A = this chain, B = another copy of it.
Amino acid sequence: MKYPNKIKKLHHNKINYANRGMTLENDLNLTNSYYLENNIAIIYKKATPIQVVKINYDNKRHPLIKEAYFQTPSTTDYNGVYRGQYIDFEAKETKNKTSFPLTNIHKHQLNHIEKVIEHGGISFIIVRWTTLNKTYLLKGETLISYINNKKQKSIPLTFFKKEGYIIKENYQPRLDYLKIIDLIYRGGNNEKNNTLSKK
Binding site for B on A (CB under 8 A): 3, 6-7, 10, 36, 39, 41-42, 44, 46-53, 55, 62-70, 74-75, 79-88, 112, 115-116, 118-121
Contacts and interface: CB of A to CB of B under 8 A. Distances in A.
B88 A85 contact: no
Contacts of A112: 42
A67 B69 contact: no
B52 A10 contact: yes
A188 B55 CA distance: 46
Given A6-B52, A52-B6, A121 B70 contact: no
Given A47-B48, A52-B6, A52-B7, A120 B65 contact: no
A83 B50 contact: no
B75 A81 contact: no
Given A41-B119, A64-B68, A79-B80, 20 more contacts: A3-B55, A6-B52, A7-B55, A39-B115, A44-B74, A44-B75, A47-B47, A47-B49, A50-B50, A50-B52, A63-B69, A65-B70, A80-B86, A81-B116, A81-B120, A84-B119, A84-B121, A85-B120, A86-B87, A86-B121
Contacts of A116: 42, 81
Identical subunits present? 2
A83 B86 CA distance: 10
Contacts of A55: 3, 7
Most interface-central of A64, A88, A115, A119 (chain B CB within 10 A):
A119
Nearest to A45: B49
Contacts of A82: 119
Contacts of A7: 52, 55
A79 B53 CA distance: 26
Contacts of A67: 64-66
B63 A50 contact: no
A85 B108 CA distance: 22
Nearest to A3: B63
